[in-house]
Amino acid sequence: MNVLLLGGGVFLGRHLIDVLLERGHAVTTYTRGVRAVPGGDAVTRLTGDREGALDDLRADGWDAVVDTSGYLPRFVRASAQRLAGAGRYAFVSSVSVYDETHPAPDESAPVQGIPPDLDPEMGSVDGRSYGPYKAACEAAVRETFGDRALIVRPGLIVGPNDPTDRFTYWPERFLSEGDVLAPAPAQRGVQFVDVRDVAAFTVRALEDGRGGNVNVTSPPDAVTMGEVVYGSRAASESEADVAWVDEAFLEREGVEPWTGLPLWLPESLGLPGLTNANVDRALAWGMTLRPLAATIADTLAWVRTLPRDRERKAGITAEREAELLRAWRAAT
């Protein structure tokens, strides 16, 4: 296939390039040129801004387009219309499109509408608008491509090159000294997917001519918080003790779910849909997921290449963690 990749210099795009090249496809990327795009001479690189007129983007000749960088409907609509002659259009969306209170959303579950106070044409993307805007982006792709649209809805994407620290925090935390605070209970199910598995699934779905919506993440309850934490400790060969702290205490202390303490979503939030998406369709299509230990080990190996003093985008500081542990032990 002759594949156009919208994006490609940050996270999922980098791994899509790897998979596409490994499977013998021709790859062209379209990015702003802010970050280096991997792949060497095997990749054709186009520089441009999808928020512009797209006149510099060839409209025809693509067997498939993979859109990893679409967040606002008007820009996604413009890209889809410009590339309407492509064979297929794979849009990377998110399970966040669903009503987060849904107990176990499958692909038939309703998606979020845009609240009346948000402007999807001129608005900005934040925690509140992300899911509704992604749902509107999906609709914009389907308007042009119909059943030639492949809508990939991953859960939390993790692994090497992750710029968010939302999973990286746990393997990296065990590189430092001191007891580790973790959100109880250890048997709580968590849901995420290795970036390389998303990339492989997306490419093979395009090769197989798939269309429609598909959730791509780990099966519900296949991985627990304890397995992530203890797996991270084992990978780093740490001897740190883990203190499993009651979530009621964490809430009283104002610890921020998800970003303050990655992967933690307290029951009180009532958001089961974020950790319980149904993936039967992806499994039927042949989705394969690597072992958790491999994701942790490879993430840790990548983390070791980064500056230790870099600014982290998620997780609590060492000082805050020590403060919380002192308060927890005093209270118990």
pLDDT in tens, 306-323: 998 899 999 999 999 999
Q: With contact defined as beta carbons under 8 Å apart, do 285 and 216 qualify?
A: no
Instruction: Supply the pLDDT for residue 255.
Output: 97
105-148 pLDDT tens trace:
999 999 999 988 888 777 788 888 999 999 999 999 999 999 99
Angle between helix 225-236 and helix 292-303 axes, rounded to 10 deg:
50
- Please give the share of the chain, as a percent, with pLDDT higher than 70: 100
- Contacts of residue 61, Cβ cutoff 8 Å, sequence gap at least 6: 2, 85
Domain ranges (residues) in the chain: 2-154, 169-190+220-275+291-331
pLDDT band at 9 (very low <50, low <70, confident <90, very high): confident
List for the chain the helix, strand, coil content (%; round to 5). 35, 20, 45
Q: With contact defined as beta carbons under 8 Å apart, do 78 and 256 qualify?
A: no
Instruction: Supply the pLDDT for residue 31.
Output: 92
Give the architecture (CATH level 2) of 169-190+220-275+291-331.
Alpha-Beta Complex (3.90)
Q: With contact defined as beta carbons under 8 Å apart, do 190 and 220 qualify?
A: no
- The mean pLDDT value for 218-241 works out to 97
Which value, in Å, is the radius of gyration of the alpha carbons in the chain? 20
50-103 pLDDT tens trace:
888 888 899 899 999 999 999 999 999 999 999 999 999 999 999 999 998 889
Instruction: Supply the pLDDT for residue 56.
Output: 84
Cα 47 to chain centroid distance, Å, stands at 24
pTM for this one? 0.96
- Contacts of residue 82, Cβ cutoff 8 Å, sequence gap at least 6: 54, 57, 59
Q: Is the pLDDT of residue 25 over 90?
A: yes
pLDDT band at 270 (very low <50, low <70, confident <90, very high): confident
Question: Whose CA is closest to 100, among 278, 273, 327?
Answer: 273
- The mean pLDDT value for 156-184 works out to 96
- Please give the share of the chain, as a percent, with pLDDT higher than 90: 83
Give the architecture (CATH level 2) of 2-154.
3-Layer(aba) Sandwich (3.40)
